[in-house]
Amino acid sequence: MGDIEENRRDEQAVAAFIERFAAELTEAGMPRMPSRVFACLLVEEGGTLTSAELAERLRISAAAVSGAVRYLAQVSLVSREREPGSRRERYRLHNHVWFASMTRRDQLLDRWQRVLTDGVDVVGGDTDAGRRLAESAEFFEFLKNELQDVLNRWNARLAARATPGP
């Protein structure tokens, strides 16, 4: 009986944490329902829940879950998977969700840089607008390079942590 009590978590505290973290994500620009669904999946031990489980835990409708999951799938934070032998879908956080998100951000920065560079050609590099666009493109190139260095250091840190000591 002691093991069961030790493994039990305070579900009220977990629910409060979900709302607190979801509020932070919303403040940063993520829509409210996807923020709540993402936070709920993040604290789930297996990182996966069904639509019904998400609706019950968050006290939201199945339609709200569907819309939230659609958004989270579009930004590649979660994936859908079918339960074997069932029509029910489970929603799963991607492994290394933050790393994967930042890797995609790197690709976004690259696209923005290219478009801004094209914009310099369109408006002329010797104009105020062209200089603003060129500086923006240079900033995104800098950020992309810095982000790649950070991601490489993170991979090295994970590898060091996974390697057993002597």
- Specify whether the CB–CB gap between 89 and 51 falls below 8 A: yes
Task: Specify the pLDDT at position 118.
Answer: 96
Task: Specify the pLDDT at position 140.
Answer: 93
Task: Say yes or no: 66 and 105 in one domain.
Answer: no
Task: Say yes or no: 57 and 132 in one domain.
Answer: no
Tokens of 63: 């339609």
- Specify whether the CB–CB gap between 126 and 116 falls below 8 A: no
Angstrom distance (rounded) from CA 106 to CA 130: 24
Task: Say yes or no: 20 and 71 in one domain.
Answer: yes
Following DSSP, what letter does each residue of 72-141 receive, concatenated? HHHTTSEEEEEPTTSS-EEEEEPTTHHHHHHHHHHHHHHHHHHHHHHHHHHH-TTSHHHHHHHHHHHHHH
Sign of the torsion angle spanned by Cα atoms 137, 140, 144, 149: positive
Task: Say yes or no: 80 and 15 in one domain.
Answer: yes
Task: Specify the pLDDT at position 1.
Answer: 45
The per-residue pLDDT for range 71-118, each reduced to its tens digit, is 999 888 998 888 777 778 899 998 788 887 887 787 888 999 999 999
**Residue that is written with structure tokens 């310099």 in the block:** 120
Number of domains in the chain: 2
Phi, psi of 46, deg, nearest 5 = -90, -5
DSSP 94: P
Q: Which of 79, 27, 37 has the alpha carbon at shortest distance from 58?
A: 37
- Specify whether the CB–CB gap between 40 and 17 falls below 8 A: no
Task: Say yes or no: 81 and 107 in one domain.
Answer: no
The residue segments making up the domain with residue 138 are 97-162
Task: Specify the pLDDT at position 76.
Answer: 84
Task: Specify the pLDDT at position 49.
Answer: 95
Residues of the chain with pLDDT under 70: 1-7, 165-166
DSSP 49: E
Angstrom distance (rounded) from CA 18 to CA 36: 7
Task: Say yes or no: 132 and 149 in one domain.
Answer: yes
Looking at the chain, how many residues does it have? 166
